[in-house]
Amino acid sequence: MPFIPHTEDDIQHMLAAIGATGIEDLFDEIPEALRAAAALKSIPPGMSEMDVTRLMMQRAEQDGRPLCFAGAGAYDHHIPAAVWEIATRGEFYSSYTPYQAEASQGTLQLLYEYQTMMASLTGMDVSNASLYDGASALAEAVLMAVRANRKSSSRRVLMPGTVHPAYRKVVRAIVTMQNIELIELPYCTECGHTVPESLERYSGGDVAALVIPQPNFFGVLEEVDALTDWAHRHGALVIGVANPVSLALLTPPGEWGENGADIVCGEGQPLGAPLSSGGPYFGFMCCKLEHVRQMPGRIVGRTVDLDGKPGFTLTLQAREQHIRRSKATSNICTNQGLVVTAATIHMALLGPDGLERVAAACHANTLALVEALTAIDGVTKLFDRPLFHEAVIQLPRPVDEVLGELADRGLLGGYKLGDDYPELSNALLVCATETKNADDLELFAKHLRDILKPQ
């Protein structure tokens, strides 16, 4: 019996102690008619570890290992070998939420260190212990901003069209049942950013919050200072959505404009989580201290024990569902503990210098890629604005065809923008992280040149 240690002798002794004649007796409170139909007939028989290993190796190999120039919310970074070696130690891997603080000081201290790193990276006062992913973190940030804005009772939130399209869909799915109105802001089709002056049309109305992505979905840098100051002048809170690796180079949201963003969230994946088909990643969330009681999710604090010795514990639990039930800040229960464990080790191994070098290399590689690709006839770069590590290029042929042919040659050429932005029908979002070398960039350019060559 896989993973069940009982011998026949054990079973008989245990049944005798219970006073039952067979294991089936233990299910006698379930109505007979329901039990009769419950057999799992279409589940295949169990397999040995050896056979499952063969199956999974085949499945994993079947999908190939294309050279990845896609970003669009998930980025191919080097992860130090030690990160997952340590994170998957049984003591981290197979423990649970640290409710029993004395028996969970490892996880709790690690989360406190994580909170310290994230607060500093974003330039904010405090961080929670993570949410599910970047998209759901933004949804929680929107709910939080509406709760936290004491100057406005509005339920309107301004959402630039330059925010990741999937994030906008997730926010819509999660917040609209609470009567929150999301107003989509147009972007500048020349430059690919949200023009601060375009917000003036909302000056008269009451707005709870403005979302500001930096970099935005096109890789373009937004005018974060002007946008932040506009929001604060009009009584709206600012929700920054940031790529954590970019923060090694870019102004932290806590320093945007005069007073900085109020809440910052984003996708933690670039900090040590493998691409892994989109998850598990983690969403990070940081805020100003004044809003901490409106922040959802677990938070770890440092305190002392009975002897005055420092220790760590979950705190501010009065916000959470297990205490507040229907009045909780969110229904969130678990966070993404193990991925945060990896991210914390990842940040410790890179340090400030390493993270900055990674960010700078991504930026430089993407510029070099754009240069190589736009040297091809008919390929141009869209959006004349500073960028971080993604860029939009325009192709002379439909993107689907080109991506398909690149895939046949073992390349993931980028993300097709036309589905979400019909006006960008032949546009491709490309990304070259630090993992790509000059040969990789040249290979991409060579294949694209071949594919676009007039037949």
Partner 1 sequence: MLIFEHSRPARRNPSQAPQDKAADLKAIPEKFRRKKRPLLPEVSELQAVRHYTRLSQKNFSIDTHFYPLGSCTMKYNPRACNKLAMLPGFLARHPHAPESLSQGFLACMYELQEMLKEVTGMKGVSLTPMAGAQGEFAGMAMIRAFHDARNDVQRTEILVPNAAHGTNPATAVMCGYTVREIPTDAQGDVDIEALKGAVGPHTAGIMLTNPSTLGVFERRIMEIARIVHEAGGLLYYDGANLNAILGKVKPGDMGFDVIHMNLHKTFSTPHGGGGPGAGPVGVSERLLPFMPVPIVDCDGKAYRFLTEADRPQTIGRLSAFAGNAGVLLRAYIYARLLGSEGMHRVAEFATLNANYLMARLAQSGYDLAFPERRATHEFIVTLKRQAKELGITAMDVAKRLLDLGYHAPTTYFPLLVPECLLIEPSETEAKEELDRFITAMQQILTEAQTTPEIVKAAPHTLPVRRLDDVKAARELDLAWKPLG
Q: Examine residue 39 and tell whether it contacts partner 1 (CB under 8 A).
A: yes
* Residue with Cβ nearer partner 1 (202 or 222): 222
Check: CB of residue 294 under 8 Å from CB of residue 330: no
Rounded to whole angstroms, how far apart are CA atoms 144 and 264?
Answer: 11
* Residue with Cβ nearer partner 1 (48 or 153): 48
Q: Examine residue 141 and tell whether it contacts partner 1 (CB under 8 A).
A: no
Check: CB of residue 167 under 8 Å from CB of residue 72: no
Burial (Cβ within 10 Å: 0-12, 13-18, ≥19) of residue 279? middle
Rounded to whole angstroms, how far apart are CA atoms 409 and 440?
Answer: 13
Q: Examine residue 195 and tell whether it contacts partner 1 (CB under 8 A).
A: no
* Residue with Cβ nearer partner 1 (35 or 151): 35
Rounded to whole angstroms, how far apart are CA atoms 161 and 420?
Answer: 10
Q: Examine residue 188 and tell whether it contacts partner 1 (CB under 8 A).
A: no
| Positions in 62-91 near partner 1 (CB under 8 A) | 62-66, 68, 70, 72-74, 76, 78, 80, 82, 84, 86, 88-91
The site string for partner 1 over 417-436 (x = CB under 8 A, - otherwise) reads: -----------------x--
CB atoms within 10 A of CB 293: 13
Q: Examine residue 194 and tell whether it contacts partner 1 (CB under 8 A).
A: no
Rounded to whole angstroms, how far apart are CA atoms 167 and 138?
Answer: 7
- How does DSSP assign 63-87, residue by residue? T---EE---TT-------HHHHHHH
- How does DSSP assign 197-211, residue by residue? GGGGGGSSS--SEEE
Q: Examine residue 367 and tell whether it contacts partner 1 (CB under 8 A).
A: yes
The site string for partner 1 over 306-345 (x = CB under 8 A, - otherwise) reads: xx-x-xxx-xx-x-xxxxxxxxx-xxxxxxxxxx-x--xx
Least spacing, CB of residue 199 vs partner 1, in Å: 19
Give the Å distances, CA to CA, from 104 to 91, 310, 408.
Answer: 9, 14, 49
Tokens at 76, concatenated: 């191919």
Rounded to whole angstroms, how far apart are CA atoms 390 and 228?
Answer: 23
The site string for partner 1 over 382-401 (x = CB under 8 A, - otherwise) reads: ----xxx-------------
Least spacing, CB of residue 431 vs partner 1, in Å: 10
Q: Examine residue 196 and tell whether it contacts partner 1 (CB under 8 A).
A: no
Could you give the 3-state DSSP secondary structure of residue 216?
coil
Q: Examine residue 350 and tell whether it contacts partner 1 (CB under 8 A).
A: yes
Return the residue of 227, 236, 292, 369 that touches partner 1, per CB under 8 A.
292
Q: How many residues bind partner 1 (CB under 8 A)?
A: 199
Q: Examine residue 191 and tell whether it contacts partner 1 (CB under 8 A).
A: no
**At residue 425, what is the residue type?**
S
The site string for partner 1 over 152-181 (x = CB under 8 A, - otherwise) reads: ------------x-xx-xx-xxx--xxx--
Return the residue of 8, 21, 34, 422 that touches partner 1, per CB under 8 A.
34
* Residue with Cβ nearer partner 1 (202 or 216): 216
Question: Which residues on neighbouring strands pair with residue 109, listed in sequence order?
Answer: none
Rounded to whole angstroms, how far apart are CA atoms 195 and 213?
Answer: 13
* Residue with Cβ nearer partner 1 (203 or 331): 331
